[in-house]
Amino acid sequence: MLYALIGILALKVALLGRGETPDRQSALQAVADEPFGRVLLSAIAVGIAGYALWQLARAVLGGNLEGGEDESVFKRIGYAARGVFYGVLFVSALLIVFGADEGGNRREEDRATAYVLDLPAGQLLVGAVGLGFLAAGLFNLYRGVTRKFREKLKLRKLSDAEDKAYTVIGVVGFAARGVVFGLIGVFLLRAAYQYDPKEAVGLDGALSEIVHTPYGPLLLGLVAAGLFAFGLYSFVEARYREV
């Protein structure tokens, strides 16, 4: 749901040339602004909480709970980081539901990066996070190009037409997600190298950087369509994931 909303909001920016590039929190706020939006947002918040708890469980219990195989400490750290991130997003969703959000969080990456940079070995920590995002971006591109994501689906329950359609959606979606994650990683690495928290960007910042490239609106439109496709693929995975 979140990626589909972000894709729609980013596509609106690309087509109309106005508005701010979206992130997860602005997508949640957009839901709340609709009729019965807070009811829907409450349901989304429950889903976000479930995702956060699932990631924390993978970190504690070994990651590949479905296959019964243990996973490396680095993957466990990644799962834990996702759990914390989506836990914070869950709190943000609740604040919006109850009208307690204060807004002004679009540069929270600056504050978080500045805090980490001031820690001992802060530059190394920010650089490591940047490398993590860059690796995640490359991994998403790899999964998209090689269609490895199909291994998670109950292909035996899909018709040939469904299989082809879902494969196209997955390839486009994972590619777009890889581009965005890769950009976030690059700018975090730049922030670490230059010791400048203003260089750090989140999802909205990565999309904004795309806008300012040659043929920016066209590229943003393509990436927005890709993020929307990833949202659609997530619904497919929710229905057909092999568990």
Same domain, yes or no, for 231 and 167? yes
What is the tens place of the pLDDT at every residue in 14-64?
888 766 788 888 888 888 888 888 899 999 999 999 999 998 998 888 756
Percentage of the chain modeled with pLDDT above 70: 91
Find, among 212, 210, 190, 211, the residue nearest to 200 by Cα: 190
Same domain, yes or no, for 237 and 172? yes
Measured distance CA(103)–CA(202) in Å, rounded: 16
- Residue 20 — left, alpha, or beta (φ > 0 → left; ψ -120 to 50 → alpha)? beta
Confidence band of 211 (pLDDT split at 50, 70, 90): confident
Domain count, the chain: 2
Q: Is residue 6 part of a domain?
A: no
Same domain, yes or no, for 31 and 130? no
Confidence band of 176 (pLDDT split at 50, 70, 90): very high
Give the residue carrying structure tokens 């759990």: 83
Same domain, yes or no, for 237 and 141? yes
By residue range, what is the domain housing residue 143?
A: 108-243
Question: What is the pLDDT, as a whole number, of residue 173?
Answer: 96
Within 62-159, residue ranges assigned H as helices are 73-97, 108-117, 122-146
pTM exceeds 0.85: no
Same domain, yes or no, for 120 and 101? no
Same domain, yes or no, for 68 and 151? no
What is the tens place of the pLDDT at every residue in 24-36?
888 888 888 888 8
What is the tens place of the pLDDT at every residue in 92-115?
899 998 886 655 455 566 667 777
